[in-house]
Amino acid sequence: MAKEKVILAYSGGLDTTAIIPWLKENYNYDVVCCCVDCGQEEELDGLEERAKLSGASKLYIEDITDDFADNYIVPCVQAGAVYEHAYLLGTSMARPGIAKRLVEIARKEGATAICHGATGKGNDQIRFELGIKALAPDLKIIAAWRDDKWTMQSRQDEIDYCKAHGIHLPFSADHSYSRDRNLWHISHEGLDLEDPAHKPDYDNLLVLGVTPEKAPDKETKVSIDFVKGVPVAVNGKQMSVADIIRKLNKLGGKNGIGIIDIVENRVVGMKSRGVYETPGGTILMAAHDQLEELILDRETMEMKKKLGSQFAQIVYEGKWFTPLREAIQAFVEKTQENVTGTANMILYKGNIIKAGTTSPYSLYSESLASFTTGDLYDHHDAEGFITLFGLPIKVRALKEQEREAAAKKPKKTKSAGKKTAAKKTTAKKAAKKK
């Protein structure tokens, strides 16, 4: 009788490499590895050999880079989705695309389960599992780190386990940050970063670029063209969204752009410290914001900011495949109909400096904004507007003045009232006698 198949979300890292023999020993599964390529680049080197030496029967390497760029990154850029004012959702928005492809491979292989190596403390377990539940509620999900049969409690335990099974690893417990890389970013967690009092050792940490201090003492000019909120060209050259991000990653990394050190609130309730490199993404988000300033009216912009924050929360929490995400995205797409134009910027030592914005749909009117009086706007018109706009404030202040004045008036006492009444009675009696 053939063994049941499990699809393992395989990155080639320590966790998922150790999980292959563990699944075979504890569940007697036929392990099919699936590495979903979201732009990891050289991290995929040697993966097939490592997977098979670890006991996998097969390895899929599925390239979804363009799908990731077009259908996950672009909606987040258009929404202005930023988690806790800093995190550009690099890991978060890749997970639903990975979950979708894992389900597709599971169907193709006739697998009964999908396994992931996300820990029981992290966000990824939620993102993977919510995606799988939404797309394939019938499939079993195995979370190794939460399984009672999983006895390894540290990276060193996993290394020792792999060595005992004859698996060679190209990393060690002492010099290996926990990293996640894709087209959009790379994250760094663990080791010395677990203490927020420690300054990151950027010289040994950074992968995509350099610190602003080490960036060239020279400006780099860049222009990005958008059509309906979608980036289409860099410096006048038409490219796919994925290639635009690759180009901006190089320019941004070279100029020390997009490095953040953040303590974020995970979905499971704890705080987590990480360093993120998002050079191209930081430039792209800034360019999109720069263009929207020119095009969106005030009320649409205000509503979009509110929904953009909620969109970020949804993506961060792994709720991509939900009606709410679809509804907010539909609103955002409507706002993008006129977001067409060019954002010009200067990159310099970690800074993104505006260098001019143009759009055929610009709502900016120089004659209106100018300090010079023109035909479209009479300065005196502001008087009536301010009177009406400030009326609630003025009425409130007037009512407060009335209350204060009333409080200052002397009050008549009861005894004074009795004396006055007695005087009146005496006066009446005297009148009668007369």
* Residue numbers annotated as active site: 15, 95, 124, 178
Please give the radius of gyration of the chain, using alpha carbons only, rounded to the nearest integer. 32
Taking alpha carbons only, the member of 224, 184, 232 closest to residue 347 is 224
Instruction: Enter the tokens of residue 279.
Output: 């050079």
Output DSSP code: residue 87. Answer: B
User: Are residues 356 and 164 in contact, defined by beta-carbon separation less than 8 angstroms?
Assistant: no
31 HSE (CA, 13 A, CB side): 27
Backbone angles phi, psi at 342, to 5 degrees: -130, 130
Query: Using CA atoms in the order 236, 241, 247, 253, what is the torsion angle rounded to 10 degrees?
Result: 130
23 HSE (CA, 13 A, CB side): 32
Instruction: Enter the tokens of residue 341.
Output: 């134009």
Chain centroid to CA 135: 23
Output DSSP code: residue 173. Answer: S
